[in-house]
Amino acid sequence: MNISLSRRRLFAALSLTTLSALFSAAPAFAQEKIKFTLDWRFEGPAAPFLLAKSKGYFAAEGLDVTIDSGSGSAGAVTRVATGAYEMGFADFNALVEQEAKQPGSKVTAVYMVYNNSPAAVVSLKKSGFTKPSDLLGKTLAAPVFDAGRKAWPAFAKSNKIAVDGVKWQSVDPALRETLLAKGDVDAITGFYFTSVLNMEARGVKAEDLAVMEYGKMGVEAYGNAIIVSHKFMSEKPEAVKGFLRAFNKALKEVIANPSTSASYVKAQDALANEALENRRLKMAIDSNIITDETRANGLGDVQPERLKRAIAETVDAYGLPATPPTAELFNAAFLPAKADRMFK
């Protein structure tokens, strides 16, 4: 055998062995860990977050994202403010309230998912409430922390009725729709897509309900947004941008095909009713995500002048002690390019 050839084969074999050893010994690429909190349970509107994780969109951005359920927007804001979570999903108005009461909370919204508030007044159609003035003198039920109840003064002022023209009955969230279905109260406030579906679960058909959506009746408040702690935002700006790119991609997919997107919710929570959550998701998309504003300006952004009015409106409605600076509440610098946020 040719000695030179044998040596070349030996060196080649050693080189392959050495390279193999090096690669096998090399540590896996470290991904940036992000703890993310939802505002509520795993329901239809959580689908874009779960899709982004399931399809590897977060991983492709170098992110290892853990998504946890929540127990309300105020709790989600607190989780992020205390550093227990880096990012979350919460009602923007809960963020306004937090910053007004505790200046320097160091939490900012970076992607406005709901272009308007999902809050609504829901009543039985047979009651004959077709306009806000019909509610005067009536009893409305809601938890004291309900966004629709807290924003009632904004709804009343926008529709030129007396702010104190209704009576409130404080109830547990689980009992709200039951009381209305039984006729024990005249109306309720709650998130539109939650209360309507909860009423159906209690035997009341959607066509037998009258719904007054705040966002369609003059209230300028924005709805839920992706929030982030100032610490994480300043230390890991590329991670925040990557998260929003992944989420934005997933949200556009969900908008394009909402009829099957709740499968990601079902995969997360085996007890979820997939058909019901698909409907909830579609309702949220049609009423709160797709609007004239998002069609013109793309998903995730805000209109500066409207944002100022919306913040002032919430401060007034909630009776807050101060008006937080707009720059403390929303930062558009991390958003994907406008062209990437446009949708069909």
- Quote the DSSP letter at residue 41: S
pLDDT digits (tens, 9 = 90+) for 74-114: 999 999 999 999 999 999 999 999 999 999 989 999 999 99
Q: What is the mean pLDDT of residues 263-277?
A: 95
Q: Would you tell me how many other CB atoms lie within 10 Å of the CB of residue 275? A: 11
Q: Which residue from 263, 3, 229 is spatially nearest to 108, judged by alpha carbons?
A: 229
The reported pLDDT for the residue numbered 5 is 45
Which position has the higher pLDDT, 2 or 196? 196
Residue at a domain's end among 216, 234, 255: 216
Residue 19 pLDDT > 80: no
Q: Which two tokens stand for residue 299?
A: 């998903």
Let me know whether 205 and 92 are in one domain. Answer: no
Domain of 145: which CATH number?
Answer: 3.40.190.10
Does residue 24 belong to any structural domain of this protein?
no
Does residue 102 belong to any structural domain of this protein?
yes
Range of the domain at 196: 119-216
Looking at the chain, the whole-number percentage of residues with pLDDT higher than 90 is 90
The reported pLDDT for the residue numbered 29 is 60
Q: Which two tokens stand for residue 47?
A: 């689908």
Which position has the higher pLDDT, 13 or 303? 303
Let me know whether 177 and 270 are in one domain. Answer: no
- CA atoms of 186 and 126, how far apart (whole Å): 11
Residue at a domain's end among 171, 191, 216: 216
The reported pLDDT for the residue numbered 30 is 81
The reported pLDDT for the residue numbered 26 is 38
- CA atoms of 311 and 330, how far apart (whole Å): 11
Q: For residue 142, what are the β-bridge partners? A: 170
Residue 3 pLDDT > 80: no
User: How many domains does the chain fold into?
Assistant: 2
Ramachandran class of 106: left when φ > 0, alpha when ψ lies in -120 to 50, beta otherwise: left
pLDDT digits (tens, 9 = 90+) for 132-167: 999 999 999 999 999 999 999 999 999 999 999 999
